[in-house]
Chain A
Amino acid sequence: MDFQTFLQQFVNALSLGSLYALIAIGYTMVYGILRLINFAHGDIFMVGGYLAFYGVSTFLMPWWMAVIVAIALTTVFGVGLERVAYRPLRDSPRISIMISAIGASFLLENLAIVLFNARPKAFPVPEFFARNFILGGVHIASVSLIIPLVTAVILAALLWIVHRTRVGMAMRAVSTDIEAARLMAIDVNRIVSITFAIGSALAAIGGILWALKYPRLEPLMGIMPGLKCFIAAVIGGIGSIGGAVLGGLLLGVIELMTVAFMPELTGYKDAFAFVLLIVVLLVKPTGLLGKNLGEKV
């Protein structure tokens, strides 16, 4: 493989990896606070994509307005989901809350099939995102440049929120010890809602960017990216925002590079993430940047 092909694959991997990273952050934040795999995260991602689609195609909004409305509605939706499906079970065994999360995920998928129709929809990509650059023989769609940029900006903003604001301090407190945080007069419910709001907004942004990159909406489009991004969060060390970004980038690079170097493995592409997950869990269960949470007796 020549250098140019490598560069092309690298650009592709970078944009896919940043997209994974964006969604993985949502998983890692929710998990950090509630110790819950939000199985429905991938479906919130799907909802975000569809809302933007309907904003543009049915309500004829300009694309930037459709994007803002879609993100806002998805955020409200995510917070509502937490309130209905997860909050009543917060003190229940973890298996119950996980079953509830799986149930929520399936409910959303099936509702999407009923409401949005199972037939795939073509996402209208604005001209601005579809433009193609050729840099030194490498084809770059402008969306491939925008995605890493968006991820970088969001990462910086989140790190600032978590480490420099009162809300962020409260989040860290809740994630360390929910009971102690409550004793310190932190409104745990509010913090959980804020976390879900941020996570869902990120999922919506991810869903819209995904739809710009692969302009095809399906009710089940969230399952695979959802699972892979959770894996990315685990690889990076779940609970750590930097880790989620690292894991997402790593996963994107590994997926695309393996296919580029060994084209005969293309069919197995979707399995890489899972193999990687099992390997990471065996070698370093806390992930690359994760802290070791010992079990309390």
Chain B
Amino acid sequence: MNTSKKLPMSRNTLLTLGAAVIGLVLLFVFDELFDRFTMQIFKLCAINIILALSLNLINGFTGLFSLGHAGFMAVGAYTCAILTMSPEQKEVNYVIQPIVPWLANVQFPFLPALLIGGLLAGLIGWLLGVISLRLRDDYLAIATLGFSEIIRVILTNAMTFTNGSLGLKGLARFTTMWWAWGSAILTTLFLVLLIKSSYGRAFKSIRDNEIAAESMGINVFGMKVLSFTISSFLAGIAGGLLAHYLTTIDPKQFIFLKTFDILLIVVLGGVGSITGSVVAAIVVTISMEALRFLDGPLNLGFMVTSGVPGLRMVFFSALLMVVVIYRQQGLMGKAEFSWDALSRIGLLPRRKSKSEKGGR
């Protein structure tokens, strides 16, 4: 038992580092190996991880039911897209009404544009939070849902800023695999650290019992606004990545259904589990693509149906309801992945228990 103390790093740190190296190598291999279509899905997984984590921060860890995510994504996506477009592209895109002059000649590289998009989404989130976080539960849900609808209506109508319902086309394909997965990994790390910090504990205490949290001296309102702002910032970043992943954006993409997709991931993974959100984001994204065959003609053995568009989403909405009714905790509940948990279920060799080591 002394040997383990003399090691410069504990077993868990070594395992984590090992996993990180393997992950990087895998990303590199995938980048070389996969064809373009598979790559696109793989990138979408990363973007959905960011979205699911940001929604989980507010819904799962702070216990505030927000349905405004599509709106924050839209803010991030449009800001980032408008800032990265070259003046010539803007001229081509804004055919009905030209863009406002002060934006016409602005062009930023991807990273600052992405960050500005995120910050703007965060700023709007902060404002909305200050306004609406005095509401509880269902009122908050409706107010945030209403907010995302307002954003969509503005995007459709503010022609000189957003080109209205025509959308923005021909955006540069900036979201490479490294950008997508880099942001996803950074977000995951940030969230793990945040949840472990005193802020994270404050968030969770608000979720578990707001009045008790307040009586323990936690600034409940401030913490709620903080959590909401961070969540909107992350959603804005994901929106920016999504814009340069799809290369075409229009207001219709950011309807409430988009929030529903993310909510599905969060609920399936477990409301309040980072691991759950990451795993569910990957599984749901891949199966959404894999189940595309449901929308096409089906061969049921005895008959061939003539393609029913929408059947795939029927499956996913039914799945959500079944999970909520029969397994509310989702995949992970509030549990997180840890190397110790793996050894507890026997997937890793057991290490000596802490009592043997004589405490920490």
Q: Which chain A residues have a beta carbon within 8 Å of chain B's beta carbons?
A: 35-37, 85, 88-89, 92, 94-96, 98-100, 102-104, 106-107, 109-111, 113-114, 118, 223, 227, 230-231, 234, 267-268, 270-271, 273-275, 277-278, 281-282, 285, 295, 297
| Cross-chain contact A95 with B59 (CB below 8 angstroms) | yes
Q: Choose from A92, A94, A277 the contact partner of B146 (Cβ within 8 Å).
A: A277
| Cross-chain contact A277 with B142 (CB below 8 angstroms) | yes
A222–B134 CA distance with the chains assembled, in angstroms: 29
Instruction: Report the minimal beta-carbon distance from B32 to chain A, rounded to whole angstroms.
Output: 38
Task: Knowing A37-B142, A111-B314 are in contact, say whether A285-B153 is a contact too (CB < 8 A).
Answer: no
Binds A, one of B105-113, B198-206, B303-311: B303-311
Q: Which residues of chain B have C-beta atoms less than 8 A from A277's C-beta?
A: 142-143, 146
| Cross-chain contact B139 with A227 (CB below 8 angstroms) | no
Q: Choose from B146, B157, B263, B271 the contact partner of A268 (Cβ within 8 Å).
A: B157
Q: Which residues of chain B have C-beta atoms less than 8 A from A227's C-beta?
A: 142, 145-146, 149
**Is the CB of B221 closer than 8 A to any CB of chain A?**
no
A96–B256 CA distance with the chains assembled, in angstroms: 18
Q: Choose from B132, B156, B267, B328 the contact partner of A278 (Cβ within 8 Å).
A: B132
The 5 lowest CB-CB distance pairs between A and B, nearest first, are: A274-B146, A113-B310, A267-B157, A107-B317, A106-B317
Q: Choose from A36, A107, A234, A270 the contact partner of B314 (Cβ within 8 Å).
A: A107
A268–B150 CA distance with the chains assembled, in angstroms: 8
| Cross-chain contact B137 with A278 (CB below 8 angstroms) | no
Instruction: Report the minimal beta-carbon distance from A243 to chain B, rounded to whole angstroms.
Output: 15
Closest B residue, CB atoms, query A269: B153
A228–B108 CA distance with the chains assembled, in angstroms: 39
**Is the CB of B260 closer than 8 A to any CB of chain A?**
yes
User: Which of A98, A102, A274 has the most chain B CB atoms closer than 10 A to its own CB?
Assistant: A102
| Cross-chain contact A282 with B313 (CB below 8 angstroms) | no
| Cross-chain contact A114 with B131 (CB below 8 angstroms) | no
Mask, B57-75, CB within 8 Å of A = 1, is 0010001010100000000
A35–B139 CA distance with the chains assembled, in angstroms: 11
Task: Knowing A278-B143, A278-B147 are in contact, say whether A98-B138 is a contact too (CB < 8 A).
Answer: yes
Q: Which residues of chain B have C-beta atoms less than 8 A from A113's C-beta?
A: 309-310, 313
- Chain B, interface size category, equals 35 or more
Q: Choose from B154, B267, B320 the contact partner of A271 (Cβ within 8 Å).
A: B154
A84–B147 CA distance with the chains assembled, in angstroms: 31
Q: Which residues of chain B have C-beta atoms less than 8 A from A274's C-beta?
A: 146-147, 149-150
Q: Which residues of chain B have C-beta atoms less than 8 A from A114's C-beta?
A: 308-311, 314
A15–B144 CA distance with the chains assembled, in angstroms: 29
A161–B256 CA distance with the chains assembled, in angstroms: 36
A194–B191 CA distance with the chains assembled, in angstroms: 46
**Is the CB of B135 closer than 8 A to any CB of chain A?**
yes
**Is the CB of B318 closer than 8 A to any CB of chain A?**
yes
Apart from A110-B317, A285-B139, list 9 A-B contacts with CB within 8 A: A35-B138, A88-B325, A89-B325, A94-B138, A96-B328, A109-B317, A110-B313, A274-B149, A295-B136
Closest B residue, CB atoms, query A99: B324
A200–B147 CA distance with the chains assembled, in angstroms: 27
Closest B residue, CB atoms, query A275: B150
A110–B264 CA distance with the chains assembled, in angstroms: 15
Q: Which residues of chain B have C-beta atoms less than 8 A from A297's C-beta?
A: 211
| Cross-chain contact B135 with A281 (CB below 8 angstroms) | yes
A6–B238 CA distance with the chains assembled, in angstroms: 47
Q: Which residues of chain B have C-beta atoms less than 8 A from A107's C-beta?
A: 314, 317-318, 321
Closest B residue, CB atoms, query A100: B324
**Is the CB of B141 closer than 8 A to any CB of chain A?**
yes
Q: Which residues of chain A have C-beta atoms less than 8 A from B154's C-beta?
A: 268, 271
Task: Knowing A107-B314, A268-B153 are in contact, say whether A223-B142 is a contact too (CB < 8 A).
Answer: no
| Cross-chain contact B313 with A106 (CB below 8 angstroms) | yes
A107–B257 CA distance with the chains assembled, in angstroms: 12
Q: Which residues of chain A have C-beta atoms less than 8 A from B318's C-beta?
A: 103, 107
Q: Which residues of chain A have C-beta atoms less than 8 A from B310's C-beta?
A: 110, 113-114, 118
A104–B271 CA distance with the chains assembled, in angstroms: 19
Closest B residue, CB atoms, query A223: B256
A140–B143 CA distance with the chains assembled, in angstroms: 35
Instruction: Report the minimal beta-carbon distance from B333 to chain A, rounded to whole angstroms.
Output: 13
| Cross-chain contact A234 with B142 (CB below 8 angstroms) | yes
Closest B residue, CB atoms, query A274: B146
A231–B146 CA distance with the chains assembled, in angstroms: 9
Q: Which residues of chain A have C-beta atoms less than 8 A from B135's C-beta?
A: 281, 285
A98–B64 CA distance with the chains assembled, in angstroms: 12
| Cross-chain contact B325 with A231 (CB below 8 angstroms) | no
| Cross-chain contact B153 with A103 (CB below 8 angstroms) | no
Instruction: Report the minimal beta-carbon distance from A125 to chain B, rounded to whole angstroms.
Output: 27
A227–B139 CA distance with the chains assembled, in angstroms: 12
Task: Knowing A92-B328, A100-B324 are in contact, say whether A281-B139 is a contact too (CB < 8 A).
Answer: yes
Q: Which residues of chain A have C-beta atoms less than 8 A from B150's C-beta?
A: 271, 274-275
| Cross-chain contact B321 with A104 (CB below 8 angstroms) | yes
| Cross-chain contact A271 with B153 (CB below 8 angstroms) | yes
Instruction: Report the minimal beta-carbon distance from A294 to chain B, rounded to whole angstroms.
Output: 12
Q: Which residues of chain B have C-beta atoms less than 8 A from A271's C-beta?
A: 149-150, 153-154
Instruction: Report the minimal beta-carbon distance from B162 to chain A, rounded to whole angstroms.
Output: 12
25 contacts between A and B (CB under 8 A): A36-B138, A95-B137, A99-B267, A100-B325, A102-B260, A102-B263, A103-B317, A103-B318, A103-B324, A106-B320, A114-B311, A118-B310, A227-B142, A227-B149, A267-B153, A268-B157, A270-B149, A274-B146, A274-B147, A277-B143, A278-B147, A281-B132, A281-B139, A282-B131, A285-B135
A98–B260 CA distance with the chains assembled, in angstroms: 12
Q: Which residues of chain B have C-beta atoms less than 8 A from A89's C-beta?
A: 324-325
A98–B63 CA distance with the chains assembled, in angstroms: 13
| Cross-chain contact A85 with B313 (CB below 8 angstroms) | no
